[in-house]
Structure formats: C-alpha cells, structure tokens
Amino acid sequence: MAHDWKPDFEQLVDEHQSMVFSLALRMTGDRGLAEEIAQDVFLELDRHLDKIESAAHACFWLRRVAISRSADALRRRKVRGLDLWVEIKEHHGLQPEPRISSLGGRLEDLLATLPEPQRAALLLRYQEDLTPEEIAATLDAPVATVKSHLQRGLKLLRAKAAVHLKEYVREKEYARGV
C-alpha cells in the first residue's frame, strides 16, 4: 500500500530510543542486554522502514518488537540455565545503580520478579500509558487476557510491595495518619 510518510531513521532513533531502551531494561533487568536489544530493534526497524506507514505505526512497531526481542532474550537466558541476577553480579561485577527514587527503583526490582506476560502488560500500561485494548494490539493477545495479566500483575506487585517495601507502607500509613 502506498503511503506519503517519509521516515527519517535518525529522527526515529532520537524520538524513541528512550522508550525502547526502558522497555528492554525493565523486561530483562540487565542494562547491557537492554542496550543490545535496543540496537537490534532499531537495526531491524531500518530493514523494515519501507513497510512503516506513519509515525504512530513506527511507535507501535518499536514497542511490539522491543517487547518481543526482550522476551526472546529472557528465554535464551533460561535455556542457558543461568540466573539473570547472579550472572550480572558474577560476570559483570555490577553494583546496584544509584536510583533517582529509591522507591521507584525497588518497584522496578519487584517488577522484574513478576511472570513475563504480566511484566510486559504492566510496563505497557504504566510506562507507556496504553489502554488494555492498545496493549492487546501491541502484544497480539486477546483483550481479556491482557486485562487478566494486568489485574493479576498489579495484585501480585501490590502484595510484594506490602511485604518488601515496609517503609513504603509505613510512609503511606503515616501520611494517612494511621
């Protein structure tokens, strides 16, 4: 199908690198891997640029491929039988990065412990601000399934936050005057 939109690859990288990198980082929990995934996603976009019909289509395509490549990377890691966090610490000797917001950082850590489909749905909901229908289109899944992943993921994350983020609960209780 003919389309008038003329994509500028460099501009697309400028506009969407933060989105693609953040999705990959939060899906995998590994900064190095997230950079590799982001590179691969943009190089794949370059190969498919003639099929992209609009700026919105580019954004949709990038989200979809970023989630899909991150899930592939996680599966490859599972096949290799290495625990993600142990590997990062042992092989890269990485220290935990200073967080802008410690609560935010800890919520990210808790998100990494959720099952992959729930993590993807929550990320698209709260990072990308997508509706369940848009998430369903991005993940190529039924809307009911996405809603279920969102509900279960949110419930699980809330429960984990209540256990692991005691100070968060205390702060909230203090703020409420309990």
Partner 1 sequence: MDEFEQELRQAFARQPAPPSLKNRILRNRRSRAPQSHAHLWQRLAAVLVLTLLLSGGFAWHQRERQRKGEAARQQVLLALRITNHALNHMNQQLAAHGRANQK
Interface with partner 1 (CB under 8 A), residue from 5, 9, 54, 89: 9
Radius of gyration over every alpha carbon of the chain, rounded to an integer in angstroms = 18
The answer to whether the CB of 30 falls within 8 A of the CB of 21 is: no
The answer to whether the CB of 12 falls within 8 A of the CB of 29 is: no
CA dist 68 and 156 (Å) reads 23
Q: Taking CB under 8 A as the criterion, which residues in 57-96 touch partner 1?
A: none
CA dist 56 and 16 (Å) reads 11
Closer residue to partner 1 in complex, CB, 22/68? 22
Interface with partner 1 (CB under 8 A), residue from 55, 60, 68, 127: 127
Binding of partner 1 at residue 123 (CB under 8 A)? yes
Binding of partner 1 at residue 171 (CB under 8 A)? no
Helix (H) or strand (E) holding 66: helix 55-80
Which residues form the interface with partner 1 (CB under 8 A)? 9-10, 13-14, 17-22, 25-26, 35, 38-39, 42-43, 46, 101, 103-105, 107-108, 111, 122-123, 126-127, 129, 154, 157-158, 161, 172
